[in-house]
Structure 1
Amino acid sequence: MPHLYVEYSNNLTGLNEQGLLEKLNAVVCGHATVADEADVKARIAALQQFRIGTNPAQRGFVHVQLRLLAGRTPEVKKELSDAIAAVLRAEVPQPAGVMVQLSAEIADMDKASYYKDRL
């Protein structure tokens, strides 16, 4: 915990995956509610098959989901969401003729059923 998932449409050519993950991890690890930077696990996936709406226009997206153990206040979740959104706005390219949607979601994980260990 936390787990950071990034999914994006593969028509966003020029997206620097490693750079985006580094900046997102820095934002999450730097938040006062994250005690250990080694707990943040991030991954990114370019989606080959996607559909946005019904219009055949060129459209793309990047969605980030940050999953945290339940218990953080709505204000903390908003801070994290805003910080993630700022990284997306700065780092996501907008290819010519493509309308790009950015979204971020902070989701709770159930403490009672979450398992974690270090080897």
Structure 2
Amino acid sequence: MPHLTLEYSQNLAPFPEAEVLHAVNAALCAHPEVAQESDLKTRTVPVASFAIGTQPERRAFVHAQLRLLSGRTPEAKQALSALVLQALRPLVPRPDGVQVQVSVEVVDMDRASYQKERW
């Protein structure tokens, strides 16, 4: 914990995965809600098959889902989602003629049932 999954539509290729992973991890690890940097697990997931709305316009997306153990305040969640969006903003490709949507959500993981081991 935390887990960050970044899905992006493949029409944003080439997507700068390495730069994005570094930027969002650096932003989140600088926040006091992330107590230990090695606990943050981030991955990118290119999405080949997708639809955005019903119109034939050229559209693309990036969606970040940050999963945290429950118990964070609404203000902490808002601050973390804003950090992720701020880190993504300069790195998400903006192809000509393509409307790009970037979104971030914070999801609570049930603290009572979450288990983790380190080896």
Alignment TM class, shorter chain as reference: over 0.9
Which residue is equivalent to 1:29?
29
Tell me the C-alpha RMSD between the 2 structures. 0.7
Looking at structure 2, the residues matched to 103 and 46 of structure 1 have their Cα atoms a distance apart, in angstroms, of 15
Q: C-alpha offsets along residues 7-50 of structure 1, whole Å, 9 cap, x if unaligned?
A: 00000023200110110111111111111000000000110000
Gaps of at least 5 residues in structure 1 are none
Looking at structure 1, the residues matched to 13 and 50 of structure 2 have their Cα atoms a distance apart, in angstroms, of 15
Does residue 6 (structure 1) correspond to residue 6 (structure 2)? The answer is yes
Aligned pairs for 1:22-101 within 5 A: 22-101=22-101
> What is the DSSP-based 3-state SS (H/G/I as helix, E as strand, rest coil) of the residue aligned with 1:6?
strand
Which residue is equivalent to 1:109?
109
Gaps of at least 5 residues in structure 2 are none
Looking at structure 2, the residues matched to 87 and 23 of structure 1 have their Cα atoms a distance apart, in angstroms, of 6
TM-fit CA distance, 1:89: 1.2
* Contact 1:58-1:99 at 8 Å conserved across structures: yes
Q: C-alpha offsets along residues 45-95 of structure 1, whole Å, 9 cap, x if unaligned?
A: 110000000001100000000000001100001111111111121110100
TM-score by length of 1: 0.97
> What is the DSSP-based 3-state SS (H/G/I as helix, E as strand, rest coil) of the residue aligned with 1:11?
helix
TM-score by length of 2: 0.97
Looking at structure 1, the residues matched to 108 and 82 of structure 2 have their Cα atoms a distance apart, in angstroms, of 17
* Contact 2:67-2:108 at 8 Å conserved across structures: yes
Looking at structure 2, the residues matched to 93 and 14 of structure 1 have their Cα atoms a distance apart, in angstroms, of 8
Looking at structure 2, the residues matched to 106 and 88 of structure 1 have their Cα atoms a distance apart, in angstroms, of 15
Alignment length (residue pairs): 119
State the identity as a percent.
Answer: 52
* Contact 1:66-1:107 at 8 Å conserved across structures: yes
List, as ranges, runs of 4+ consecutive aligned residues in structure 1 with deviation greater than 2 Å: none
* Contact 2:23-2:88 at 8 Å conserved across structures: no
